Every structure is written in C-alpha cells, then in structure tokens.
Chain A
Amino acid sequence: MKANTLARLAGRALTRNKMRSFLTTLGVVIGVGAVIAMTAIGEGARVRVQQTFEAMGTNMLIVLPGSSASGGMQGGFGSQPTLTWDDLRSIQTELSTVRAAAAVLRASAVVQSEDQNWTTAIVGTTPEYFLIRTWGVAAGHGMTQEDVDSGAKVVLLGQTVVEKLFGARANPVGQVVRIKMVPYQVIGVLLKKGQSPMGSDYDDTAIVPVTTFQAKVQGGLTKFLAGAIFVSAVSPEATSRAQQQIAGLLRDRHRLGPGIDDDFSLRNLSEVASAQSQGTAVLTTLLASIAAVSLLVGGIGIMNIMLVSVTERTREIGIRMAVGGRPADILAQFVTEALALSVGGGLIGVGLGIGIAALLAREFHWPTIIRAGTILVSMGFSALVGIVFGLYPAQKASRLDPIEALRFE
C-alpha cells in the first residue's frame, strides 16, 4: 500500500475515536513537552553560568601572595606580600602557556565628583588587565602603557560608579574626580559587566594605572607586589598546564625546597567555571532522562491501546485479509497508526514544551533556551517510540488467521 493511503487510513481510524486517541497520545505529549521544557531550562542555566564566568575573564588564573605564619597564627592568603614585580615579569615573559599577566592592586577609597562621593574598590593595574578580563570601554578610551610608565593621574570608571557620581546615562569622560584628594581625569567608562558568580558588582570599581596606584593610593614604591597577579592562559585547555608552570616558576624563584608549602596560592577560575558547567550539564541530563522515562511510559500506553484496538478490530482485519490484504499490509496499517499517535503526540508535546519554556521565561525570568536539536531528537525519539511499541500489536494483527478473524464476534 502507498504511504498516503496508509496515512489516510490511520487518520480515519484515529479520528473515529478522538477521545481515546487523545488520551493515548497524552503520555507522549507530556513526555516530549517535559523533555523540551526541561532541556530549555537546563540549557538556559548552563549558558547563564557560562556567561557569568566569561564575564570574569577567559582562561583566567589568579596568583595570590601566600599566608604568613608567625607564632602559630595563620594569616589568610595575601596577608603577607610574597610576590614580587620580578615574579610578574617572569610569568609574563618566561612561560609559553601564558598569554598575558597583570598586577592587580586593590584598595577601598572614596571617589568624589563635584557634588557627590562614593566609596568603591580602587584597582591599580596595567593595560593587560582589560585583555585578561575581556573588558572594553563604553565611552572614552582605555588605559595605555604610557599612562602606566608616566604614572598619569587618569581613571576608568565602572558603570555603577558613574551612576553614583554623575547620574545614570551621564558621560563623565574628560571630567575630574578626586581619589584621596588627588584629582584624576576620567579617560573612559567601562562596559557594563554585571554580577560576579559570587554576587558582587563588577561595575562598582575605579581603575587607575598601577604606578599611580602605588604612588598616590597605596603610598610608597615597594619591592613586593601587594596584590594579586591575574593571568590569562593561551587557551582554555592550557589553563591547567599554565597553573603548573606558574607554580613551578614561583617555587623556583622563591627557592622553596621539596616539602615546603607554597608561599602563594593559585586559583584556576576556569576549573571552577567548568565544574559549574558540568554541574548544570548533569542537571540537564537528569531532567532529560526523567522526561525520557515519561516518554517511555507514553509508549507503553500506545502499545496498550494498540493491543486493545487490534482485538476490537479483529473482524476488520479478517475482512481486509479476505479481500487481499497481505500480512505486510496489515502490519504497515497498524504500525502507521501507532506512529501517527506518537508523532502527533510529539508535535503537540513540542508546542507544549515551547509554551512552558516561554511562560517560565516571562513569568519568572528564567533563562530558557530551546535548541532545534532538542526538538529534532525528541521528535525522532517519539517516532521511535511509536515504531517500537506499535510493532508488537501490529505483528499480532498481521499474524491473525483470516478464517478465525472473520468468525470473531
């Protein structure tokens, strides 16, 4: 029999019992709907996490000075300056896996405009910092090496600081702000970066050249680098190797023999990021497999109803066989019906899933992402469910003895 004849036949048989057909497909509808909605939520969460970590910086490692241990008191990391400017230069120049490294010094201070003031994190650093953090300017221009070399009194402001000092949407480029009474010219406004994975505001900061920071904010040049070194590896894959190289280099430079603890600490942020991503990926898989189980249950529902249908229509099968329907024709007829049920259910389910995802996005502002691949896979899966669970009842129908079938009451 031709495909269109089969399809029409199936359509007729299923519409004859609309309520039953609908209830039969419901399992697949809910299954596919759940798959679509769940993966949309999972994928949305994964991308959100990924974006958050990307905002922090790419392939990033942070080197912090070590803890000081004096008289049994353990200060936290960074309580003792152990990193030197020479360490930084070595990291910058000697390691193959390092794309860029920058000193990052921090202090909390008040920034004043003409009529407002705001306490924020003052960061002293070099132009590499913006590369490492993939952070550009929204207005004005970025920091140059010249600014660093000359110890220029220039500042780049984060969006939050701009808002507090000049009001939203203001462009303060060219204006003067004071930090610790020293006037700085605003040369640029940074792009909005949002929240860090830990919930702090990236945009609540003012960035000055590291030399200026040492001279005017921290006070006095020191041999030690009283802050952190931010490092960007050449690629995501290279970050763990970069971590090892940096550790080796620093242990070497600090002459730490075997058995002696590191006097610095290394944080691999991409590890944290990938752990987070994996976490959400596991969540997605979990949600999807729960949904797949419900799809399976839907398939069993289809098989059940198809078996009932074959029994009910024994006489019809007998008639079809008597007038020339071959076993293969009968098989095709019932498999097509099961397939129509499952694919029809799948289509409705896709609609339902998209609807649920859209609703969650609108009502709860959950990030949801629906990929074409998910839809294709779940449609394929529901077709498979139809064939697998339709085959047994169809085979049962095709193996009926026409004489027995015609006699069936």
Chain B
Amino acid sequence: MDASSRRPGANALVELVDVSKIYRMGDVEVLALQEVSLTIAEGEFVAVMGPSGSGKSTLMNIIGCLDRPTSGRFRLAGREMGGLSRSALARVRNEMLGFVFQHFNLLPRTSALENVELPLVYAGLPARKRQARALNALARVGLGDRADHQPSQLSGGQQQRVAIARALVNEPRLIVADEPTGALDSRTSMEVMEIFQELGRSGVTILLVTHEPDIARCAARLLSMRDGRILSDQRQRPLPANPHGVPAGAIEARA
C-alpha cells in the first residue's frame, strides 16, 4: 500500500483544537503551545520540525498522552483525552501508542526480548503470548537473532531497533518518535528511517519529531513549528531512505 494514496482527514486519528500548554516556572509562565489545531489521519507519516523551544516536544508529549493540555481539546481515535486520569492515560498509552526515544530508553541489563515484552506485561498478557509476540516484533526489525542480547551488547542502531520493536509489539494505532535518529550516525539513521517507512507502508500512523531535514524528508507530511505555533503544514513526496548509502535527497538538502 502506498502512503500517498491515503487522504488525510478521511479518518482522523489525532484531533487537536486550539490546544495551549502553559508551564509555570516559579512566577514566570512559559507558553509552550499556543492554540495549536491539528488533525492527523489514520496511516499518515508526519514529521515535526523546529528549533529547540519551538514546542515540538510539548506537542509530542500531549499527543503521546504523557502530558495534558492547559486548554483546548484533544481527541485520540475519536475519544476525548481531556479529563482522563493518570491511570486511564497509562491504559491509552499501553493500548494505542508506541514510543521511540532519542536515547532508546531500554531497560539496562535486561534482554532485548524482555524489553520488547514490557508493554505486554502491563497489558496483562500471559508469558507465552508475550514472548511469541515480542519475538515476532524483533523479527520485524531484523533482530530476531538478538533476542537474548542485553542493550549493552548491541550497537546504537540495534538498540533503537529494539526500541522500535517495543513500540510495535502492542500493535499501536500511533507511533510517536522523538528524535529517533538523534543519537545515531547518518548511515544507521537511514537504516532506522527505512524501518519507519516500512511501518508507514503497513498502515501505522507515525508522528516523528526531528530537527534534521534529511530525516524529515522521509515523511509524507511536514509540520514546521516555532514559538509554540505551527508555521507551515506541507505535504511532500517522501524520499526513500536507503540503508545502503546516503540517500540522494539528503545530499540535495545539504548542498
């Protein structure tokens, strides 16, 4: 299935209406998000770019149900997230969301398999089902043979693939990735992006935060943020990430 064939708005997964987020630091109020409205359709691959402090992380945290907006409405898969308790939000994260972080955030001294199993532990799955699904997810990111390796025995790229497998294992509707290539070299970055594109093609909705233009060009939709607002919202033809070399698009962007 081709990602570009999907029509945004047809099946809204994420709906933000006038969402603001204000942090209070002592007496100073910091406006992290200013009345942001945004709709992401099921199956979209969206990249968010912007300098640090632009509000992209706050946006990601709110969409990822890790944080709550100060005002405005946020619906995920048609469900209002505003008044949910911490426990209910944890449920939503467990059932509908997958996270990939810049620094992988794997549990140390714990095998890749058990790291991937973690969301399923909280979903209450029995051990045998957990293991089968975790092995399957690891195979999807090409690490089926590293299930018993601990994070310290894996390269950065491999660790991030384990993290992607963990994000995938509960079959989420949305994967939220926060600078997933930020700690990787460009070659490994492209390997990881290849996996994201593969996931996008299989119909998973992806929200990816980055400040690298090369990475952002792998997405079909690009949001630019500054000072807590969305400056631009463009659709683009995604450049295929080439795991065997630096993609043509990346060279172009650097020039």
Contact = CB atoms under 8 A, between A and B. Distances in A.
B105 A315 contact: yes
Contact of A324 (B61, B67, B95, B101): B95
B93 A324 contact: yes
B119 to A, nearest CB: 4
Given A1-B121, A5-B121, A403-B61, A323 B166 contact: yes
Nearest to A328: B87
Interface of A: 1-2, 5, 16, 315-316, 318-329, 402-403, 406
B107 A316 contact: yes
The majority secondary structure among interface residues of chain A is helix
Contact of B124 (A1, A318, A328, A403): A1
Contact of B86 (A1, A316, A327): A327
Contacts of A315: 105
A318 B105 contact: yes
Nearest to A315: B105
A326 B87 contact: yes
A324 B101 CA distance: 15
Contacts of B123: 324
A16 B110 CA distance: 11
Contacts, number: 60
B167 to A, nearest CB: 8
Nearest to B58: A403
Contacts of B61: 403
A324 B105 contact: no
A246 B62 CA distance: 90
B107 A327 contact: no
Contact of B66 (A2, A326, A328, A402): A402
B107 A326 contact: no
Given A1-B122, A403-B67, A321 B105 contact: no
A58 B187 CA distance: 95
A327 B90 contact: yes
Contacts of B101: 406
A326 B90 contact: yes
B12 interface: no
B109 A326 contact: no
Given A16-B109, A319-B105, A324 B86 contact: no
Contacts of B90: 321, 324-327, 329
Contacts of B106: 319
A105 B202 CA distance: 109
B66 A325 contact: no
B94 A323 contact: yes
Given A402-B66, A403-B66, A322 B105 contact: yes
Given A324-B91, A325-B90, A406 B122 contact: no
Q: Please give me the 3 A-B residue pairs with the lowest Cβ-Cβ distance, nearest first.
A: A324-B94, A324-B122, A326-B90
Contacts of B94: 323-324
B99 interface: yes
A323 B87 contact: no
Most B Cβ at <10 Å: residue of A16, A323, A327: A323
A315 B101 CA distance: 12
Given A322-B105, A327-B90, A406-B101, 20 more contacts: A1-B121, A1-B124, A319-B106, A319-B118, A321-B66, A321-B90, A321-B93, A322-B93, A323-B94, A323-B122, A323-B166, A324-B170, A325-B90, A325-B122, A326-B122, A327-B87, A329-B90, A402-B66, A403-B66, A403-B67
22 contacts: A1-B124, A2-B124, A16-B109, A315-B105, A319-B106, A320-B122, A321-B90, A322-B105, A323-B94, A323-B118, A324-B90, A324-B91, A324-B93, A324-B122, A325-B90, A326-B122, A327-B86, A327-B87, A403-B61, A403-B67, A406-B101, A406-B105
Interface string B63-88: 01011000000000000000000110
Contacts of B105: 315, 318-319, 322, 406
